[in-house]
Structure 1
Amino acid sequence: MASLLIVLAAAGGYLFGSIPFGLVLTRMAGLGDIRAIGSGNIGATNVLRTGRKDLAALTLILDAGKAGIAAAVLGYFLGTTAGLVAGGFAFAGHCFPVWLGFKGGKGVATFVGTMLAVFWPVGLTVIATWLIMAAIFRISSLAALAAALVAPFAAYAWGRPDVAIMAAVLTVLIYWLHRANIQRLLKGDEPRIGGKKDKAETDASADSEDPDTPVT
């Protein structure tokens, strides 16, 4: 019975997390396929390239909320472990949605929503880390990578090894999905928040997905 509940939590979390809100919202607004512009990403950063800050903000909220709702609701009805599994699979659904050929976003907003739902102090720590790093360095991807890295250590420090393990697994996935950003960071080519991109940076962004992180 316990195994069945975990499977149900995984399936429910994945299906809910795989809803591509950025794609749905931009199509409803008559802006076409968001995957055809900018980096081709379905997250808030690429939605912002349409010039619609309202849609970008709504995408960010919904991408975070879908994981948070999946983790909170299934955790409430099926137990803590099921909630963690649902949150983790909601993250996987966002990054690898079956409806889009398993090509989704980079999951930072979804990661934040999951952390807030399974253990809110860690979620707030992640948000605070992102804001501090973004304010200091003005690089969205660097802020996202730092915020994700903090999560498992924060969870362990608060006595939640279960959350720490899940956060560590998701952080590894975030780093893998941001490998192109990491390469640009090492080269010093990663664009800054609010800065103008030169042609090389624009081409680099078009070749890889941008992080699902707020830049509004």
Structure 2
Amino acid sequence: MRLKIILVAGISYLIGSFSSAYVLGKVLMKTDIRAHGSGNAGTTNALRVFGKKIGAVTFILDILKGVLAVYIGGRIMGYNGKLITGIFAVVGHNWPIFFKFKGGRGIATSFGVLLSLYWPVPILCFIAFLLVVIVTKYVSLGSIISAVLAPVFGIIMNKPYNRNYFITTLILAFMAIYRHRANIKRLIQGKEYKIGEKVE
């Protein structure tokens, strides 16, 4: 059992460590996304730095990383394998071994993970994200709120109650909030970047 846990955790971490934004930036734009914008290799910065098309492709690929990791975990270890691989795929995205542990904030990959586990929860979170972004123009605030809501929606909707699923959503939410700590500071100070603003 321990070997299986190590196996699925390692595989999913490596999958998560594939940086879509970095690879697309290097291949299509001949530049390192980490040297531009916020410095994060994630969907939001790819959208800001490279534009809508590359941003959209980055978003889709980052979601698929979560979906693929959960699928593999399920095939090897069943439901608990899905939970383990989901967490480690996001860890890999946030702190990728291939890119000096400098990755994104894990929102898109977490979305893919949650879609694979129980799709109604991430759909509601995505709706909440869109509403917040439309009203405030802050992508970071929408991401933070949707991450916080995931465990809440999970308790309400995913019946019967599954403790391991709930713990997984809490871990994903905690990682999202931790990775957004600089954004939270700027939001409090009124200095956060809105959609369309260039990052200095």
TM-based fold match above 0.5: yes
Q: State the alpha-carbon separation in 2 of the partners of residues 169 and 150 from structure 1.
A: 13
Q: Gaps (5+ residues) in structure 1?
A: 204-216
Mapped partners of 1:15, 1:122: distance in 2: 26
Within the alignment, does 1:167 sit opposite 2:157 as a pair? no
- How far apart are residue 192 of structure 1 and its match? 2.0
The two structures, once aligned, show a CA RMSD in angstroms of 1.5
Segment of structure 1 superposing worse, 150-159 or 48-57: 48-57
Structure 1 residue 33 corresponds to structure 2 residue 35: no
The match for 1:178 is 180
Other structure's SS at 1:29 match: helix
Write the deviation string for residues 84-141 of structure 1: whole angstroms up to 9, x where unpaired: 1001000000001111111111111111111111111212122111112112222111
Return the letter of the residue paired with 2:141. L
Amino acid at match of 1:181: N
In terms of mean alpha carbon deviation, does 80-89 or 126-135 score higher?
126-135
> Which residue is 2:19 aligned to?
20
| Gaps in structure 2 of 5+ consecutive residues | none
Give CA-to-partner distance per residue, 1:19-49, whole Å, 9 cap, x none.
0111111111143211121122111222223
Instruction: State, as a whole percentage, how many aligned pairs show the same letter.
Output: 37
2:59 paired residue number: 60
Spell out the pairing of 1:117-128 with structure 2 (5 A cutoff).
117-128=116-127
**CA contact under 8 A between 2:126 and 2:146: conserved in structure 1?**
yes
Shift of 1:17: 0.6
Q: Distance in 1 between matches of 2:124 and 2:7?
A: 29
Q: Take 1:179 and 1:52, find their aligned partners in 2: how far apart are those partners? A: 25
